[in-house]
Structure 1
Amino acid sequence: MLVPPIDRRASKLLEIRARESAPTTLLRMAGQDYSAADLIERASRLAHSMREQGVGPGDRVAILCGNRIEMMDLILACSWLNAVAVPINLASRGAQLQHILGNCGARLLAIESALASILDFIDAGAVAIEQVWLIGAEGEDGLVETVGPWPAAALPEGAGRVDPVECASSDTGAIIYTSGTTGPSKGVCCPHAQFYWWGVNSAEILEITQCDVLLTTLPLFHVNALGAFYQALVSGGMIVVLERFSARGFVPSLREHGATVTYVLGAMVPILLSTAAKDDDADHPTTRALAPGVPADSMKAFTERFGIGLIDGYGSTETNFVIGETLAHQKPGAMGRVRPGYHAMVADAQDDPVPTGEPGELLLRSDIAFSTATGYFEMPEATSESRRNLWFHTGDRVYQDAQGYFYFMDRIKDAIRRRGENISSYEVEQVLHGHPAIAVAAVYAVASELAEDEVMTAIVLHEGARVSPEEILDFCQPRMTYFSVPRFVRFCSKLPSTENGKVQKFKLREQGVTQDTWDREKVGYEVRRDVPRKHTA
């Protein structure tokens, strides 16, 4: 669905979809089907209630809600008023939540009633909140007891309707906060057109048509799931949004909903592969999945077992789906080539391009108006720094081959410096994920006695698997440089992760070398420099 700039926003796209295919299902949540016309009606009514609450163009509305229809209602209702939706990660608590609510300046907060107690730890004097709407609350005539110092009411159903407010595709449609690792979370200002282009770009890469059924278990407060909604919206397809990811329910859900396309992130694939194999694992209609950040070895094993082709790529909250290829043009270990309308460069610390095959930071820019974020909300210095020399600096270390394919190495801040050598945590993880006993591994730096980095790995084994640290390092030695072999090995039942399954390495780094960590130097395990290195690409 290619539309003029004035129509590149949710309200207009829904109107077009309703005219073209009014009775067809666009969205399924909690077993309930919704057409575009249904969503228009729901958004219009909720927008009426928002307007009565004083919400207007440019006002921020904070939302703490899981994958339920009210979450989509709130996001779409904001579009109706040209207000700004601020979907917040459900895991946010304490200082982080305080910062987000204070930074965005929302006067209205909609929150699931089961989460309301987390507001007890918020300094009311440091935020602009005036009213709290409780999602899933029950009370006579919508009245609910106050939450902290704020008046609270059940999320209204809306007694009237409002027409969409006219706006530009460049206006901010949402502020999505990225998790801060070295500082406070930054609110990414996403214009209406950015979500439209997320839908268009992703639909082309995933080859989505009106015949496709998309299924996501990822949270709607991230761009992956929101982008999937727009893929269905602009392609004429249908999307099923489940409450959460379940390894046991993954294949049955694909079967039940007739999904042809799904979405998995890096950690989800090893988790699925760790489950007991069944004869009917490939008995479903799903042919392809968007799967960024999945180790190459896991991609092959996953496709062989589940019959689903995995599509890598590169996109971020600040950019778009800017690097990617269709399933037929996938290359093992590669993210793909840059999309039409976008430019990518691998650069050194001075923003100069590096030779083909050499690692450097991925820099991006676009020729397509407002297809990427416009900056960080109320953080002009961070905005300026990330966009030096007219390029967006991703913070990701990559290299590009002679065919134009880009390969992810690691986050620049995840790079480890040991004995004067730079070590890619991603490359070490790739090797560890090739061990048959390992389900998930995270590699990160910890301080050594020599005031430099040591390599540590936290490992989750497949159910029932047994392996010693020595056996793991024996597996590593012929497959990586001697200085990359981890010194510290820690076995965990699970790793700290975000709502969308991304391992939170900063928490592991904070924990450091724990009492249950194995240290190869204490037991005298020898890492030999003369072991032939096995190629792992």
Structure 2
Amino acid sequence: MATPTLLSPLEVLRQFDAHDFSIDQFFQARLRRLSEQPMVEYQGSVTTWQSCAEQADHAVGWLLGRGVQAGDRIGLMAYNHPATVVLLIACARVGAILVPCNPEFEAREAQYIFEHAGVRGVICSTEALSKVQEATCLMSPAPWQVVIEQDQPDGEMSLLLQWQCSPPDLLTRTGTADSTCMIIYTSGTTGFPKGVMHSQRSYLLTAEAFVHRMYLQPDERLMCVLPLFHINALMYSLGGAMACGGTLILIRRFSASTFWQQAAQTRATEVNVIMSAAAILARRPIQEFDAQHSIRKMFLAPLNRDLLDTFQQRFHVPVLIECYGMTEIPGVLSNPFMGPHKLGSMGCISAHPDPAIERPQVRVIDEDGQDLPMGEVGELAVKTPTLMQGYFKDPEQTTASFKDGWFLTGDLVRRDADDFLFFFTRKKDIIRRRGENISGAEIDSAIGSHPDILECASIGVASDLGEEEILLAVVPRPGTTITPEAVHAYAQLQLSPIKRPRYIVMVESLPHTGSMKIAKFRLKPADHLRRQATDFSLQEVQP
């Protein structure tokens, strides 16, 4: 059988009418061509493009009936569900802003996000309802809360049923390309998450660029196992599926034991994973592998030789693409799909398929903002059309993140002769765990509030699953006898599983700078601390 001819990324995009980079026009351009084609598949049910459009009409009417206006923020604390796709399209039409939140967060963590964003209402999975209620109970005015699938205990109908009962709105088209469509909260060095604002334009530019990054075809079936509160799932999987006109295979939550079975049953052709999930898949019993799967390309980072060999040779996935991205600047660097591939690299500049679209630019600079020669380590600075609009209600932090118009990533990198970039380390107090940026300052603040703790410091240490694990060094308050087990129990009350330390070690003192700040860099390398620490790996979060 002849190998089908691949369309170029630009040919894929030009199958559809041109749009003005508003999500509504983008969606309508695809609807006109694909109305009866499957857009989302979820747990055996299929939502066509036409069905999604009709649901979005009802959702717009429902939002307006609730008094939602352009610029209003709508919280989302849910596991993956097709309603999120509809909600994104409906909010974009109204000009409202989606504020996704991890459903695994504790109420305290969700409270900060919802209060800071000033959400008008929150849509959630049933499992998250009690946390949403606790997180929003002190807000004034109190946000409304609606569960997606099941009726609430107080008798209010589920979101899906409310949409069905709401008159459709066919006229409202308030949102524009420059309207903020989402605020994604990401941890920062201050200890408080920052709300990254993205416009409809930057969302769509990122989505269309992903067609180029993974050479997506019109019949692509993208399996989405990552959560839709993260840019990877929202912009790359969902956005990429819409951009190429393919089908999004939506999985409620990642399950390593059923991953290959789901891949085979759904006939998925592409999937995005984080390294820790890939490492777990590589270690699962081979009996769980289903050789009938159709996955031909996988998007993940970072990638090492063992994982590359395992997925290509044992799991028969031909193409694995290593990349780099941040919530603030999605879709800037990637290993080229057609090659060359440099294992262990962040890749090189990944441009939009349309040459008329501004190309991203990167620099490697020193502390004074001067360009460094090839091979020297410096901070990665970026200019890109997918750049965030700024941090919500934080102009000072927004200004501090730029130097002479260049966004400062806080990542130290080096560039080779072919303009591929290689990650070295981070300038900021960020721990990269399970694909998430976790603020060390937030951990220190939460656990340091224990009355028996004088001070503590969290750092990232190497993980056998890739990326990092969290080690917490604790100085007990004089006269107390707190144990690692007590600290771990306190962490369970204060932090969501992804932020809880795996290693806890009691120390007599911590190093300090001249200004009496804890000098975390002096704790690394932390091999001696890890050897002394209590390992709580059996209670550790699984991705």
- Into which bin does the TM-score normalised by the smaller protein fall? 0.7 to 0.9
Q: Is the 8 A contact 2:349 2:361 kept in 1?
A: yes
* Alignment TM-score, normalising by the size of structure 1: 0.75
Deviation at 1:181, TM superposition (A): 5.3
Q: Aligned letter for 1:373?
A: M
Say whether 1:162 aligns with 2:188. Answer: no
**Residues 113-140 of structure 1, C-alpha deviations (whole Å, 9 max, x = no match):** 332211453363445434222222326x
Deviation at 1:5, TM superposition (A): 8.4
1:248 paired with 2:284, answer no
1:441-476 Cα shifts (integer Å, max 9, x gaps): 736676699xxxxxxxxxxxxxxxxxxxxxxxxxxx
Deviations 1:168-190 (A, max 9, x none): 21110111111345421111111
Match of 2:537 in 1: 493
Following TM superposition, by how much is the alpha carbon of 1:74 offset from its aligned partner in structure 2, in angstroms? 2.1
- Native 8 Å contact 1:335 1:407 kept in 2: yes
* Structure-1 residue corresponding to 2:520: none
Please, which of 192, 204, 209 is the counterpart of residue 196 of structure 1? Answer: 204
Structure 1: distance between partners of 2:263 and 2:179: 36
Would the alpha carbon gap of residues 24 and 379 (structure 1) be closer, same or farther in structure 2, given more than 3 Å must change? same
Q: Kindly indicate whether residue 410 of structure 2 is the aligned counterpart of residue 401 of structure 1.
A: no
Alignment of 1:409-420 (within 5 A): 409-413=424-428
Deviation, 1:52, is 0.8
* Offset at residue 357 of structure 1 (A): 1.2
Q: Distance in 2 between matches of 1:194 and 1:116?
A: 31
Distance across 2 between alignment mates of 1:98 and 1:21: 40
Partners of 2:392 and 2:19 in 1: CA distance: 24
Report SS of the residue matched to 1:362.
strand
Q: Could you tell me whether the CA contact under 8 Å between 2:275 and 2:303 is conserved in 1?
A: yes
**In the alignment, residue 25 of structure 2 is paired with which amino acid?**
K
Segment drifting more, 183-192 vs 303-312: 303-312
| 1:34 Cα offset (Å) | 1.3
- Is structure 2 residue 84 aligned with structure 1 residue 43? no
Task: Name the residue aligned to 1:345.
Answer: 363
Q: Is structure 2 residue 79 aligned with structure 1 residue 66?
A: yes
Higher mean alpha-carbon deviation, 206-215 vs 70-79, is at: 70-79
Aligned match of 1:326? 337
Secondary structure of the 2:71 match is coil
Distance 1:174 1:43 in 2: 17
Question: Is there any run of 5+ residues in structure 2 with no aligned partner, and where?
Answer: 1-12, 352-358, 432-458, 476-523
User: 1:221 pairs with 222, 229, 241, which one?
Assistant: 229
Q: Match for 2:61: what amino acid?
A: H
Residue 377 of structure 2 is aligned to residue 359 of structure 1: yes
Amino acid at match of 1:442: E
In 1, the alpha carbon distance for the partners of 2:179 and 2:144 equals 25
Partner of 2:43: 30
Secondary structure of residue in 1 paired with 2:339: helix
Q: Deviations over 1:122-170 (max 9, x none)?
A: 363445434222222326xxxx528xxxxx6532124211134143211
Q: What is the CA-CA distance between 1:51 and the residue it aligns to?
A: 0.2
What is the identity, as a one-letter code, of the residue corresponding to 2:119? A
1:278-357 matches, within 5 Å, as: 278=287, 282-308=291-317, 309-324=319-334, 325-326=336-337, 328-340=339-351, 341-357=359-375
Equivalent pair of 2:302/2:344 in contact (CA under 8 Å): no
Count of residue pairs the alignment pairs up: 438
Per-residue deviation at 1:262? Answer: 0.8
2:347 maps to amino acid: G
Q: Partners in 1 of 2:43 and 2:426 — Cα distance?
A: 36
Identity %: 25
CA–CA distance in 1 between the matches of 2:387 and 2:252? 28
Runs of at least 5 residues in structure 1 that lack an aligned partner in the other structure: 147-151, 417-424, 434-438, 450-482, 502-537
Question: Secondary structure of the residue that 2:84 maps to in structure 1?
Answer: helix
What does 1:79-94 correspond to in 2, within 5 Å? 79-94=92-107
Could you tell me how far 1:25 is from its partner in structure 2? 0.8
State the distance in 1 between where 2:93 and 2:72 align: 12
- Distance in 1 (alpha carbons) for counterparts of 2:151 and 2:62: 18
- Once the 2 structures are TM-superposed, how far is the Cα of residue 322 of structure 1 from its aligned partner? 0.7
- Supply the AA of the counterpart residue of 1:85: L
SS in 1 for 2:147: strand
Query: Quick one: which amino acid aligns to residue 344 of structure 1?
Result: V
Tell me how far 1:329 sits from its aligned partner: 2.1
Please, which moves more after superposition, 174-183 or 276-285? 276-285
Q: How does 1:94-493 map to 2 (within 5 A)?
A: 94-122=107-135, 124-138=137-151, 145=154, 154-155=158-159, 156-157=162-163, 158-163=165-170, 164-180=172-188, 182-227=190-235, 228-278=237-287, 282-308=291-317, 309-324=319-334, 325-326=336-337, 328-340=339-351, 341-366=359-384, 368=385, 371-413=386-428, 429=462, 433=464, 439=465, 442=468, 486-487=527-528, 488-489=530-531, 491-493=535-537
Contact preservation (8 Å) 1:96, 1:185:
no
Distance 1:349 1:415, change over 3 A: farther
User: Partners of 1:485 and 1:111 in 2: how far apart?
Assistant: 40
Matches of 1:445 and 1:347 in 2, distance apart?
30
Find the aligned partners of 1:280 and 1:93 in 2 and give their Cα distance.
34
Q: Deviations over 1:488-537 (max 9, x none)?
A: 24655357559xx4xxxxxxxxxxxxxxxxxxxxxxxxxxxxxxxxxxxx
Counterparts in 2 of 1:240 and 1:415: CA distance versus 1, 3 Å: closer
Q: Distance in 1 between matches of 2:243 and 2:197?
A: 22
Q: TM-score, normalised by structure 2?
A: 0.74
Please tell me whether the aligned partners of residues 59 and 87 of structure 2 are also in contact (alpha carbons under 8 angstroms): yes
Match of 2:28? Answer: 15
> Does the CA contact (< 8 Å) of 1:15 and 1:36 recur in 2?
no
CA distance in 2, matches of 1:171, 1:4: 21
Q: Distance in 2 between matches of 1:162 and 1:193?
A: 23
The answer on whether the counterparts of 2:19 and 2:26 sit within 8 Å (CA) in structure 1 is no
3-state SS, counterpart of residue 115 of structure 1: helix
Identify the range of structure 1 (487-496 vs 221-230) with the bigger mean alpha-carbon deviation: 487-496
- Structure 1 residues 444, 101: CA separation in 2 closer, same or farther (over 3 Å shift)? closer
Cα deviation, residue 318, structure 1: 0.9
In structure 2, relative to structure 1, the CA distance for the partners of 1:446 and 1:329 (3 Å cut) is same
- Does the residue aligned with 2:142 lie in a helix, a strand or coil? coil
